[in-house]
Structure 1
Amino acid sequence: MTYIQLKTPIPGPKSQELNARRAASVTSALAQANPIAVKRARGSLIEDVDGNTLIDLAGGIGMMAVGHAPQAVVEAIKAQVEEFIHACSIVTNYEAYVAVCEALNRLTPGDFPKKTLLSNGGAEAVENAVKFARRYTGRSGILVFEGAYHGRSNLTMAMTSKWGLFKKGFGPFAPEVYRLPLPNLYRTPKGMTAEEYVEWSCWNLENALTAHIDPSALAAIVIEPVLGEGGFIPVPHKFLRKIREVCDATGAVMIADEIQSGSGRTGKLWAIEHSGVIPDLIISAKSLGAGMPISAVTGRAEIMDSPHVGGVGSTYGGNPLACVAALAALEHLSKPETLAHAARVEQTVRRTFEPLKAEIPVLGDVRGIGAMMALEFVRDPVSKEPWSDFAMSAIKEASQRGVVLIRAGLYTNCIRFLPALEIPQDMLEEALGVVKETIQATHKAMAATA
């Protein structure tokens, strides 16, 4: 069975028409990675307005771990619409808000009392996590890492790496944010082993408490257990343990940003569970809502209760429709049989692309965990000079062949895969086969013009 069905070139005439309307009415600052216009989406398939069917490996940037429009989520939203659409958690109480908080308190790691705050999107949740940490500790310093992406608000831009795309022209940014290198094992410095690199990174973290910020001023260390926008770099477990150790020694709050890596994406409900490290606060969003806008900060009750009454809040945060969607998504994603699909996705990606590195040396790295995988492209496998044009050309070509992809990486030189966990195996193989052929064709074309 072939899932990709192309009736027109991509983009088709109706997509082109809608794209033209978008160009005339929507700010040009809002990017669009693929030129298609969606009409309908189910599972891992997208139908565009021209009647073309494409396989979605982007999932709205990791929003759709349960796939597009799963029946349980759709039914939950329909039922809630019939009752009421919004009430505002600051004004009244309602079942769905409390139930999501109870579920997250139960499902996040840590055998201690927890509480949760709901909000709308990732950046809002990150800001709230920082507010909790600052209020609890009475300190202001926030330590983050190179390659990190935490959002586009002023504070979260300050916390985010990658200047040109996300930060250029938007400053000045919020103060008291300090940044350290993160051990990216693909880019281990010459003369070091991977183990030595991680050891040095651990030393550098401790040294930062002298070189960058005094321990008495450090409110929190914020880390993505698997870098998202930074290129799907799994953080070495030893480094995560060192962060925990430093937080314990200084009284700082350890915050795990699981916006992209959480909600079952890596084969565990939270990526940090692979390391055994237990953070004080976990931030969740994206696939938590199965496409509905919801995010959360969950963690130690004493931290979450530290602000004064009314110190946090959100008019739309924890909207009932988003809450019932999250409850349905969490119920499904927390099942072991659902989480097990992530390993199948990873194995298929590695089996498809690891052998390709010998044929196409510009494919420098295949990495990630579970259904959170990336390919990194370099001009030369020795120098590892990033080749962003290659990744962007391949993404464009893949969409014309019926596969929806998005880029990633500090240098914008990665293709990331964020499929639904339960994407059928033959559909996954078809999509990855198209991506493989696209990479081969892109390599041939770009080599000819080099």
Structure 2
Amino acid sequence: MTAAAPTGISYRLPQERRLVTELPGPASRALATRRARAVAAGLGSSVPVYAADADGGVIVDVDGNSLIDLGSGIAVTSVGASEPRVAAAVAEQVRHFTHTCFMVTPYEGYVAVAEALNELTPGDHEKRSVLFNSGAEAVENAVKVARLATGREAVIAFDNAYHGRTNLTMALTAKRMPYKADFGPFAPEIYRMPMSYPFRDEPGMTGEQAAARVISAMEVQVGAEEIAAILIEPIQGEGGFIVPAPGFLAALSAWAKDNGVVFIADEVQTGFARTGSWFACEHEGIVPDIITMAKGIAGGLPLSAITGRAELLDAVHPGGLGGTYGGNPVACAAALAAFETMKVYDLPGRAAHIGEVAFTRLRDAAQRIPAIGEVRGRGAMIAVELVTPGTTTPDPALAKTIAARALEQGVIVLICGTYGNVVRLLPPLVIGDDTLNDGLDVFIAAIEEGANA
């Protein structure tokens, strides 16, 4: 089925689900054999097929199968995996230079990206930005800035949180397997608090009540005068696409402001149009002191950033922030092209439309499939939590079954959640409606078949 494209978007590859071999096919199996001899076993992959091409809402594997991509490389290829503006900007930059290191010989692209981030992120206060390579690196540096600027050490993180795989970000991450198991000891002065999780909280608990629970625990267990930062994902990603109850984020942000605590919004997965706004904290009217970004920032190239209040970032001594590859000129060129694409195609609006389509269909399915405990998310950040019918008991086996059945029919979906029982959809924001609906047809059928097996 060929997609009805969003206005103005054209595709290089046919936007169709097409299976010409079993999955994985012979070429993918051959690559898997090579991989086993060359790549460390600790690196896993969600699907067993190997990509050869990708465009719009599809990935074509090395055997010629065309699969509908409802994962976007974990929310990275929001503008598509080969968006023409991004590809052209990268080619042009590579023609001139690939690297000088901004800390040695600076260049305009870095400055232009920082200017764009200062404009795009919430708030009209004076801002500064610094560029890095990965989401974990951005989070690490946000914490560094908060600790230096406040002279305090304690950092508040939350149940179900995911912030990365470095030592500090593993400490900030809640889930043990596979992220933290046997990798300790971890960085100290991290304190974990209960997240607002409406599906699993006491019935009727408001966002304000959930925040009061956290504030009481922080004041009793840590002490406001010891806390450098509250670090939170406005919608938790790997933890299960958990949307906190309205009022939760606002209450924590207000408490942080009153107590001289830096409020850091980790928008690595939620940022850059994914939730129907440029950033997820905008849905709650939150203006973070520092915001961390990566994933969708540069059309698939490795780039991350922190943007924050000028007085916080400028408090750091010269040389205290940086890195050899941070703000690489090729990645900066890609980011500027990706920002332009998001604006030209109104991808925040497109994400909101994708959400309307998907949530309508999935919530209808939930009415007839008792194993669906909750459908949640915002915009094109969509999740289905699977449970034993009639309970809130997680069903991770069903989540795996559903993902496998979807893949058998040529649709890529991802699993997440603290209990491994959430299937998430993160389609490219340029996916066509026909392709999206075809993918949803397969996904919903996989839920029904898996739940009734």
Q: Would you call these one fold, judging by a TM-score over 0.5? A: yes
The 5 A counterparts of 1:316-335 are: 316-335=325-344
**1:275-323: CA deviation from partner (whole Å, max 9, x where unpaired):** 1111100101000011000000001011011111111111001001100
**Aligned pair partner of 2:32 in 11, 19, 42:** 19
Residue 410 of structure 1 is matched in structure 2 by 418
Higher alpha-carbon deviation: 132-141 or 391-400: 391-400
Q: Which residue of 1 aligns with 2:393?
A: 385
In the alignment, the residues of structure 2 paired with residue 72 and residue 132 of structure 1 have an alpha-carbon distance, to the nearest angstrom, of 34
Identity %: 44
Q: Secondary structure at the match of 1:208?
A: helix
- The reply to whether residue 39 of structure 1 matches residue 48 of structure 2 is no
CA distance in 1, matches of 2:95, 2:55: 23
Letter in 2 for 1:297: I
Equivalents in 2 of 1:380, 1:171: separation in Å? Answer: 37
The alignment status of 1:77 with 2:85, answered yes or no, reads no
Bigger Cα displacement from structure 2, 14-23 vs 51-60? 14-23
SS at match of 2:162: coil
Separation in 2 of the partners of 1:380 and 1:200?
Answer: 28
Superposition pairs for residues 259-274 of structure 1, below 5 Å?
A: 259-274=268-283
TM-score by length of 2: 0.95
Query: Residues 253-402 of structure 1 correspond to what in structure 2 (within 5 A)?
Result: 253-335=262-344, 337-381=346-390, 383-402=391-410
1: CA distance between counterparts of 2:232 and 2:89?
33
Match of 2:244 in 1: 235
Which has the larger displacement, 328-337 or 279-288? Answer: 328-337
Distance in structure 1 (CA, Å) of the matches to 2:57 and 2:365: 25
Match 1:179 to one of 183, 189, 192: 192
Is the CA contact (8 Å cut-off) linking 1:143 and 1:180 kept in structure 2? yes
Match of 2:115 in 1: 102
**Cα offset for 1:374?**
0.4
SS at match of 2:192: strand
In structure 1, the partner of 2:171 is 158
Contact 1:267/1:339 (<8 A) preserved: yes
Residue matched to 1:200? 209
1:430 and 2:430 aligned: no
Could you state the TM-score of these two structures normalised by the residue count of structure 1? 0.96
- Give, in whole Å, the separation in 1 of the partners of 2:250 and 2:209: 14
Instruction: Answer yes or no: is the 8 Å Cα contact 2:262–2:289 preserved in 1.
Output: yes
In structure 2, C-alpha distance between the alignment counterparts of 1:408 and 1:339, rounded to whole Å: 23
For 2:114, the aligned partner's letter is: C
Gaps of 5+ in 1: 446-450
Residue 356 of structure 1 deviates from its aligned partner by: 1.6
For the aligned residue pairs, the C-alpha RMSD in angstroms reads: 1.2
**Partner Cα separation in structure 2 for residue 424 and residue 402 of structure 1:** 16
Q: CA deviation at 1:336?
A: 7.3
Residue ranges of structure 2 left out of the alignment (5+ in a row): 3-15
CA deviation after TM superposition for structure 1 residue 212, in Å: 1.7
Letter in 2 for 1:168: A
Secondary structure of the structure 2 residue equivalent to 1:186: coil
